[in-house]
């Protein structure tokens, strides 16, 4: 009988951000076609991404779970779901409704007043009252005229902060010139979620296919595998420059194969995508 440890596999989900500006329905279809274990849904202006009823229908149609909800805390989703706290609170409610285990949130911008000043305490209160993991994502410094502009409060780097749960994004780490392998080790059990991609230290948030950037992505995934990490991974690779749907699926398939090769204990890499 095969050792259970040899077949353990960290879930590899597809972030709907990977197919943006296509819809969450398209993300489900591609995830099913390529062979992902589930999805992370980024809340956008698309109505289906905001509706538990619509998302449950997609889960049923494609027989794939939603494992994470990404709160609409991006600049491009400022008009979604009202106030800053409402965005987080409604994301938690949606995550609970669809059975997701984590809500991803960006740190606040400095100009967001009391929300920014009380963000850490508010996230902890919401976690305590709902039990939902709210994983604050690493961002990166913004630079203007060669100097860093202080955009986030308390900081773009969550490692030294007291957040109980963190999401790690390799593209953001590349812009910040951070060593993801070391950061993940420093986070330890606080790491709840990973955005799998790659990047270059060129100031551009490119979300490249792993291996096309400079981050130690393979080494970081292998560290998580060997550490018996129990979180989830969401592939967040930009496919906007793909020439057609077929090329999008090719890039997402390569990333899935990369993830399973470096995350699955005792598996044959040649069989990863079968």
CATH number at 144 reads 3.20.20.150
pLDDT higher than 50, residue 269: no
Non-local CB neighbours of 227 within 8 Å, separated by 6+ positions: none
CB-CB contact of 153 with 107 (8 Å)? yes
Q: pLDDT tens digit string along 16-53?
A: 999 988 999 999 999 999 999 999 999 998 999 999 99
Would you say residue 136 has pLDDT above 50? yes
The per-residue pLDDT for range 218-263, each reduced to its tens digit, is: 999 999 999 999 999 999 999 999 888 899 999 999 999 999 999 9
Tally of domains in the chain: 1
* pLDDT band, residue 72 (cuts 50/70/90): very high
End-to-end CA distance of the chain: 22
| Res 166: pLDDT | 98
- Mean pLDDT (the chain) is 91
What is the value of pTM for the model shown?
0.91
pLDDT given for residue 245 in this prediction: 81
Q: How confident is the model at residue 3 (pLDDT cuts 50, 70, 90)?
A: very low
Determine the structural domain holding residue 83 and report its residue range. Answer: 4-271
pLDDT recorded at residue 142: 85
Q: Exposed, middle or buried by CB within 10 Å (0-12, 13-18, 19+), for 2?
A: exposed
Give percent above pLDDT 70 in the chain: 92
């Amino acid at each position: 009988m095969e050792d259970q440890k040899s077949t353990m596999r960290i879930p590899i989900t597809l972030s709907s951000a990977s197919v943006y500006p296509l819809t969450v329905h398209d993300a489900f279809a591609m995830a099913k076609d390529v062979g992902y274990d589930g999805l992370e849904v980024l809340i956008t202006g698309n109505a289906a991404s905001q509706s538990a009823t619509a998302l449950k229908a997609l889960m049923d149609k494609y027989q794939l779970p939603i494992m994470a909800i990404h709160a609409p805390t991006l600049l491009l989703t400022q008009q979604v779901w009202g106030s800053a706290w409402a965005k987080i609170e409604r994301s938690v409610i949606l995550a609970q409704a669809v059975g997701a285990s984590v809500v991803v949130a960006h740190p606040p911008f400095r100009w967001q007043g009391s929300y920014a000043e009380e963000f850490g305490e508010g996230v902890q209160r919401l976690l305590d009252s709902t039990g939902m993991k709210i994983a604050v994502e690493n961002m990166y410094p913004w630079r203007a005229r060669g100097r860093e502009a202080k955009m986030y409060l308390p900081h773009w780097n969550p490692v030294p902060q007291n957040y109980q749960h963190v999401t790690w994004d390799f593209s953001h780490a590349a812009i910040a010139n951070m060593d993801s392998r070391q950061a993940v080790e420093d986070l330890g059990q606080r790491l709840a979620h990973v955005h799998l991609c790659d990047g270059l230290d060129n100031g551009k948030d490119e979300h490249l296919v792993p291996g096309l950037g400079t981050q130690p992505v393979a080494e970081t995934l292998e560290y998580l595998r060997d550490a018996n990490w129990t979180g989830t991974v969401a592939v967040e690779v930009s496919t906007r420059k793909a020439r057609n749907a077929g090329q999008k699926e090719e890039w997402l398939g390569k990333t899935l194969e990369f993830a399973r090769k470096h995350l699955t204990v005792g598996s044959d890499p040649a069989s990863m995508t079968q």
